[in-house]
Amino acid sequence: MSAAGLADDLPEPPYYAVIFSSLRTAGDQGYGAMAERMLALARAQPGFLGVESARDAEGLGITVSYWRDAESIARWKQHAEHLVAQATGKRTWYEAYELRVARVERVASKHVAVEPLPR
């Protein structure tokens, strides 16, 4: 991910985007640790290309993960640890969510040099 928070090094289209929009419940309840684990696992999956994610103070979030093909998405959906995270999310972490899968056909972009925030 770039310093601006955008997925970088994506290939030329076509590829796929999985768009997960969600409204969180109150409190962490293990969400942070699971989100970090899912990101690490996703990055190790064949066909994973990148991710972008944002969440506002009210708990509305959008995560877009990018994948080479529909088969890679299907394998990720059935990954054993991801299945546990999905079930826990439905039961504990999300008041509401929508998941959409789209084929990316075209990309337009503007990139600016962004300095990383001091730590």
Question: Is 15-104 a CATH 3.30.70.100 domain?
Answer: yes
Residue ranges for the chain with pLDDT beneath 50: none
pLDDT of residue 57: 92
Q: Are 99 and 20 in contact (CB under 8 A)?
A: yes
pLDDT digits (tens, 9 = 90+) for 21-52: 999 999 999 999 999 999 999 999 999 999 99
pLDDT of residue 39: 96
Amino acid at 3: A
pLDDT of residue 103: 98
Q: Please report the DSSP string for the chain in residue order.
A: --TTS---SPPSSPEEEEEEEEEEPSS-TTHHHHHHHHHHHHHTSTTEEEEEEEE-TTSEEEEEEEES-HHHHHHHHT-HHHHHHHHHIIIIIEEEEEEEEEEE----------PPPP-
pTM reported for the whole predicted model: 0.87
Q: What percent of the chain is modeled with pLDDT above 70?
A: 90
Domains of the chain, by residue range, sit at: 15-104
